[in-house]
Structure 1
Amino acid sequence: MEMRAVAAAQRWLVDQGVSRIRDGWVSDERPELLLTANQVAHSWAGDVFAEDLTTAEQLRLAFGLLDLLDEYWVTCEIRFANEGPDGPLPADLLWDGYRQRLEADRDAEAVTYSLWVDWFEDHTTSATAFAEVLGNDIDRVVAERSQAPLRRARRVLECSGPVRWTVKEPAYRTAAGLPALHPALFRGLRAGFHDVYGDLEPAAALSLLDRLDLPSDTEHVDELRHVLAAGHKNHYRSPGAWDDAIRSCS
């Protein structure tokens, strides 16, 4: 989290008549009504991109608002602006903003959820998004083993189920070379089977799964191995396969 960006976002909200108090937020228009961070995000985040600022300045302010409010809706407004008539947003700043927050030692649920349901489930954007947040530098991440980039790698792998297999497989194979990433890679493989938009190739996924050194209490390893060995690509294409695996592995 960039404290300067957070401070700028808080000042901007004050200019909009929105102030933070101990239990939430209040607006000058209705000071008796306590607002949640989610309500603030829905009501004001989109206005950032109407400010008389450069697009880069608007984006920085939006990321500051994301850090301040920690609400997924702010990421929605960022994507709306990227796809809107004044878009696209500067790609270097956009993806650097995502990478920084994926590496931060704080909760990143709003960012990972944004990646998962907005960028990764949309096959017109998933390849670029995955490359920017992990695929382009996974070799360096694995080689250097620095804490923050590894944190980013874990978070991206875990929510990468919807990314097309051909896009993510090279990064998966590289990640398999570092045991510290194995649990996150397993969760990515499992999501590739279970997610509505999940994508994997059973034989290749099984080969990767067999390389993973996982904690002994990791759940559903045998079940995933069973469905992949049977050639199933996705839970929703083979709705009875997982139940069959549970019975077979119990």
Structure 2
Amino acid sequence: MERQAVEAARRWLADQGVRQVHDGWVSDESPDVLLTGNHVAHTWAGEVFAGDLEAADQVRLAFGLLDLLDDYWVTCEIRLANEHAERPLPADVLWDGYRQRLEADRNVEAVTYSLWVDWFEDPTTSAAAFAEVLGSDIDRVVAERSEALLRRARRVLECSGPVRWKVKEPTYRAAVELPALHAALFRALRAGFHDVYGDLDPAAALALLDQLALPANTRHRAALRHVLAAGHQNHYRSPGAWDDAVRSCS
């Protein structure tokens, strides 16, 4: 599926006069100027949503560009199109695109970064986005335990710090049943404390932390337990608490 999306994106770029060469990209307008994937994304990704394609096909093409260029800006154009169109992009196609890539056995940093800073940090989209990429699927993850589903779960958990605690806590509690997700859950709890927009309930987070089977030498586990036991909700609301905890636990 992704291979087909990549080839469709490559053909679409060729129709725009843009083609890939050994070290980057060139356009018919300036064939002697080597372009980066980032330049191509900033210049052409938005045009995907300005054409005559049906909205669902636009989304699929945009994800193909993301696969081809591996550039975060493509996800920005997807988000902008969802916000600024007369009606939102088809949710099933949009979130299926995210889920497929979160399950892929390759680097998907642009996708996880997009979730973290664009969808999860925005309180108007955070709950729905989290539900689409993991919350509504966690029972299936626990039941099936396939590597692809576990891969998606790990990636979502690790960037879920900004998601409101009441939204993500049921998913976290379900994920505790899977030792394969414990390391990701630890990073999720740590991010909930450290992220600028991180959110957690100290007592509930501490209860979850104490259920995680982690290596004895897990870095910062003791410090995280210390700040949660003291009732600290966020690093930025309690300046100095983390440094004090690190010193106390060293």
Question: 1:102-181, aligned counterparts within 5 Å?
Answer: 102-181=102-181
Q: Which amino acid letter does the alignment assign opposite residue 181 of structure 2?
A: L
Q: 2:183 matched to which residue of 1?
A: 183
Corresponding residue for residue 243 of structure 1: 243
- Tell me how far apart the structure 1 counterparts of residues 151 and 29 of structure 2 sit (CA, whole Å): 41
Count of residues in correspondence between the two structures: 250
Q: How does 1:1-250 map to 2 (within 5 A)?
A: 2-250=2-250
Q: CA deviation at 1:212?
A: 0.2
Opposite residue 189 of structure 2, the aligned amino acid is L
1:173 is paired with a residue whose SS is helix
- 2:213 and 2:148 map into 1 onto residues whose CA distance is 22
SS of 2:107's equivalent in the other structure is: coil
**Consecutive unaligned residues in structure 1, runs of 5 or more:** none
SS in 2 for 1:81: helix
**Aligned mates of 1:216, 1:87 — CA distance in 2:** 51
Q: In the TM superposition, what is the alpha-carbon distance from 1:121 to its structure 2 partner?
A: 0.2
What's the Cα RMSD here?
0.8
Residue 29 of structure 1 deviates from its aligned partner by 1.1
Letter paired with 1:87: R
Per-residue Cα deviation, 1:87-134 (whole angstroms, up to 9, x for no partner): 300000000110000000011100000000000000110000000000
What SS is found at the alignment partner of 2:134? Answer: helix
Q: Distance in 1 between the 2:5 and 2:87 partners?
A: 22
**Which whole-Å CA distance do the structure 2 matches of 1:215 and 1:157 have between them?**
19
Q: Which AA in structure 1 matches 2:8?
A: A
CA contact (8 A) 1:81 1:87 kept: no
Letter paired with 1:188: A
One-letter code aligned to 1:65: L
Alpha-carbon separation, structure 2, partners of 1:244 and 1:30: 57
Residue 216 of structure 1 deviates from its aligned partner by: 2.8
SS at match of 2:19: strand
CA offset digits 1:59-89 (Å, max 9, x no partner)? 1100100110111100000000000133300
Partner deviation per Cα, 1:174-223 (whole Å, 9 max, x = no partner):
00111000000000000000000000000000000000001233210000
Contact 1:104 1:148 in 2 (8 A): yes
- Alpha carbons of structure 1 residues 106 and 231: separation in structure 2 relative to 1, 3 Å: same
Letter in 2 for 1:128: A
TM-score, length-normalised on structure 2? 0.99
SS in 2 for 1:137: helix
% same residue: 78
**One-letter amino acid of the structure 1 residue matched with residue 44 of structure 2:** W
C-alpha separation in 1, matches of 2:175 and 2:74: 30
CA–CA distance in structure 2, aligned partners of residues 174 and 57 of structure 1: 35
